[in-house]
Amino acid sequence: MNRIENTFSKLTKENRKAFVPYIMAGDGGLECLVDRLATLEKFGATAIEVGVPFSDPVADGPTIQAAGIRALATGTTLRGIIKQLAKARELISVPIVLMTYLNPIYAYGIEEFVEDIKEAGVDGCIIPDLPIEEEDIIALRLKQAEVELIRLVTLTTPLERIKMISNKGKGFLYTVTVKGITGTRNEYDSDLNQFLKNVKEVSPIPVLAGFGISNGNQIVELTKFCDGVIVGSKIVDLFEKNNLEEMEKLMSVFKKESKLV
């Protein structure tokens, strides 16, 4: 088992849920990435999703798009990010999941990319524009490198397809909670809880809810039906505002309230 599997196995034994914050690498300068990752681990992150800035981020909402633009403006590159993650691995112990689109991987070179992220201590990879029908271009290499390919399902994904997708991985299943792009939201579709419950029933791996989660009440409610949450836009926004107090409070509320029910 890699760090992701070990971490979720431990959470299950301890009767706890997962909090996975998302951070845009290079936002605020690439040199601050290691410190920000260490801060998130200190605040109680189960794992950390690290985004790679890209010029055409089809899944990202305004907050994360803006963070990507800021990161690109400072000269952030995928190679530079991987080098910083290697430094971070010497300091932090939680799993690191790299989120990137296919184009930067192609430009890097698939084989070299997989070798380098393995060497840097990356534990998982999310590629939102890679459908399972085409994932053979990289999935086997990632498996051989013991880097988990984290797959996504959405509210419109048929249950049989969710079952097929979830049976392909050993990490966790990223369950998108909205019909659209990322960004904080005040409310969700009324059928979301039932959807998460249905996904949880067919998935052999942990189910994490992501997109739009921004406060403790949402976290407590959603984790009644899944194994944890991924919080992106809110974390990005709080880092930009240097509001670490509110960030720690948000993550503390999660640790305190989100026991299994």
Instruction: Just list the catalytic residues.
Output: 49, 60
- Dihedral class, residue 69 (left if φ above 0, else alpha if ψ from -120 to 50, else beta): alpha
Structure tokens that stand for 146 in this block: 């013991």
List the one residue out of 252, 168, 174 whose CA is nearest residue 207. 174
- Contact (Cβ atoms closer than 8 angstroms) between residue 81 and residue 33: yes
Number of helices followed by number of strands (H, E) in the chain: 12, 9
Eight-class DSSP state of 14: T
The DSSP result for 106-136, as a single string, is HHH-HHHHHHHHHHHT--EEE-TT--GGGGG
Q: Which residues make Cβ contacts (< 8 Å) with residue 140, sequence separation at least 6?
A: none
Q: What is the CA radius of gyration of the chain?
A: 17
Please give the single-letter amino acid code of residue 184: T
Q: What angle do CA 47, 81, 181 make, to 5 degrees?
A: 60
List the one residue out of 124, 97, 113, 77 whose CA is nearest residue 22. 97
d(CA 226, CA 249): 22
